Amino acid sequence: MTPDFSKNHFALFDLVPSFELDLSALEAAYREVQREVHPDRFAGANDAERRVAAQWATQANEAYKTLRTPLARGRYLLRLAGIDTEEESNTAMPREFLMGQMAWREAVVDARESGDIDALDRLANEHRVAERALVAELAAQLADLSNEALLQGAKLTVRKLRFLEKLGEEIDLAQEAIEGS
């Protein structure tokens, strides 16, 4: 094992940087690294070797977690391309999109307050469809990682997916609240 901690998450698993990813190949590569750096294999090793193995395991965990989900993978590909998605600092979003989010969040609150589980199921469905559409859009935008205009579009899509993620959490919480009452 020759750890190179400067490798990017894809290279760590011998994968080509790409949004379309063979998840079973990712899984297999992750298991392989986990096996190689398992503490049991370093029982007789010295401190330095154990430290390197632990560091290697941490990086593999982080890489796996990042590449596994479309949102994190998309954000990471943009970062590799030098684009910051500014999710912490930039509050400007297309007005239409925000109005749509607001209407959805309002509907979730209303359904929660009136205990309308059917309405929540409908919202959960709409949410799934919208999220899937955004992931498909992101895949198209990240198909060519050298196209700056498409990458800027991908940045917006990643930002939108963050709102969808939050909406999904709110729907889950509302469903739990109603079912638990």
Site residues (vs another protein, CB under 8 A): 85-93, 95, 97-99, 101-102, 105-106, 109, 159, 162-163, 165-167, 169
Residue 141: CB minimum distance to another protein, A: 17
Alpha carbon 138 to its chain centroid, in Å, reads 12
Pick between residue 52 and residue 156 the one whose CB is nearest to another protein. Answer: 156
Pick between residue 35 and residue 162 the one whose CB is nearest to another protein. Answer: 162
Pick between residue 86 and residue 176 the one whose CB is nearest to another protein. Answer: 86
Q: Which helix H or strand E contains 138, and what residues bound it?
A: helix 117-141
107, 95, 97, 118: which is closest to 162 by C-alpha?
97
Residue 161: CB minimum distance to another protein, A: 9
Residue 90: CB minimum distance to another protein, A: 8
Residue 54: CB minimum distance to another protein, A: 29
Residue 95: CB minimum distance to another protein, A: 5
Pick between residue 62 and residue 106 the one whose CB is nearest to another protein. Answer: 106
- Structure tokens that stand for 27 in this block: 């899984």
Cβ pair 60, 67 in contact under 8 A: no
Cβ pair 145, 17 in contact under 8 A: yes
Pick between residue 50 and residue 105 the one whose CB is nearest to another protein. Answer: 105
Burial of residue 18 (CB within 10 Å: 0-12, 13-18, 19+) is middle
171, 172, 180: which is closest to 107 by C-alpha?
171
